[in-house]
Structure 1
Amino acid sequence: MSQRLNKYGQHIGPELPGWTPRPWPARITFTGEYCRLEPVNAAVHGAKLYQAYALDDGRLWTYMFDGTFRSQDDFMEYVRRIEVSGDAVHFVVIDKKNNQPLGTMALMRIDTKNGVIEIGCIAFSSLLQRTRMSTECHYLLMMYVFETLGYRRYEWKNDSLNAASRRAALRLGFQFEGTFRQAVIYKGRSRDTNWFSLLDSEWPRNKAAMQAWLAADNFDTEGHNENDAWLMLESK
């Protein structure tokens, strides 16, 4: 409990001297060692993204609000829509080795006044899943949100039945906060939503763990790292 008291003897939260609203995230490119993040561009990325997703069955879209897609034209309509989204900034994850788009993710539910932002709409094809690129792209956006934009809180939400997403959130250092019951209706079904967060005060420790895991000497010649549950930071 906070040790600060007001004049009525009530506990109050920590003071934030000099706090100002945070900037809206920009549609810019981020380049890492293994991958590159570019703002979604349907004309540039759409067809190649569809090819990457076409290698998988429809299970990728089970817990997404969009998909599955009946055809490439149907998918292209979706990509054009997220390209011009006014309430989220969508990025394509690109393999630097061959410039192949492999998946998408978005900064969304952006609250500049309070410094809160969510990472969501994460749709990684099987070519991206469980690779160092899939970790590095998260690292690049976390670093941008905390260090460049100065946000205080980074959120992750998922369907409470999506076990893979829960594992990913914990692996990346997010802390589980609880479940909002019957929070959403999508695809004709009810969803309980799990909430996770990462705070600016936790970022330095998280950053060090991610950098250590992403170090080139942690991987074999085929790019595999056996330490998959590398973070799993415990709440303090």
Structure 2
Amino acid sequence: MTRTNGFGQSIGEPVDGWTPRERPARIVIDGAHCRIEPLDVARHAADLYDAYGQAADGRDWTYLFAEPFRDRESFDRYLVQAAASTDPLHYAVIDRANDKAVGTFALMRIEPVHGVIEVGSVTFSPSLKKTRLSTEAQYLLMRYVFDDLKYRRYEWKCDSLNAPSRKTAQRLGFEFEGIFRQAIVYKGRNRDTAWYAIIDQDWPRIRQAFERWLADDNFDSQRQQRASLVQLRGT
């Protein structure tokens, strides 16, 4: 039943006891297969430059604001700027098997007053993409936002033409909310932005599916999944 105020106008449900949330911190988050660390140029630059260099071409940068880097010097300049930023707040994904950084992502558009935050700038190397590590990394950051920081809404946005990103968002449990037309101009071209989100009431079901998917018994002797994340989530 829709609530109304004294003027007979429809209004939203109350959020009892709400207080602004803390901002995300530069913390280390440990998982079984990967570790998330605050981005650090001295610690991570060489690993990341090598990891991104494994790509056959520059297609991974098409929908990012940065371009592929010509050399280590230009890459380091980019990382210095990224590491100093507080919004976006960048993290490196570390493969625990070899203690190497294999990708980065960020928490951004941080709104503690409303409990809204976005995951973005997802820059995963070929050795991280479509792996158990990449799924665990996304789960660890999501868990930090919902369970530790107690945010209400976790967003994913991308170029509406970026089919792999849109597919990943849906696989991870984000719900499609629409297209913002002509939202951004970048690299001299238009971007219509696809919006996805997970809200706190969705999180328990999504968290359970992640934990079941990541469990050892969900993988056979060839390290192939027995059940997909979508199947385990029931959507």
User: Corresponding residue for 2:32?
Assistant: 33
8 A contact 1:37–1:137 mirrored in 2: yes
User: Corresponding residue for 2:156?
Assistant: 156
Q: Within 5 A, what are the aligned runs for 1:1-236?
A: 3-56=2-55, 57-225=57-225, 227-228=227-228, 230=230
Following the alignment from structure 1 to structure 2, what is the Cα–Cα distance between the partners of residues 61 and 231?
Answer: 30
8 A contact 1:37–1:92 mirrored in 2: yes
8 A contact 1:48–1:101 mirrored in 2: yes
* SS of equivalent residue, structure 2 residue 25: coil
Shift of 1:222: 4.5
Shift of 1:34: 0.6
8 A contact 1:175–1:234 mirrored in 2: no
Shift of 1:221: 3.5
Following the alignment from structure 2 to structure 1, what is the Cα–Cα distance between the partners of residues 169 and 232?
Answer: 9
Percentage identity across aligned positions?
51
Stretches of structure 1 that go unaligned for 5 or more consecutive residues are none
Shift of 1:231: 5.3
User: 1:34 corresponds to which letter in structure 2?
Assistant: H
* SS of equivalent residue, structure 2 residue 122: strand
* SS of equivalent residue, structure 1 residue 92: strand
8 A contact 1:35–1:136 mirrored in 2: yes
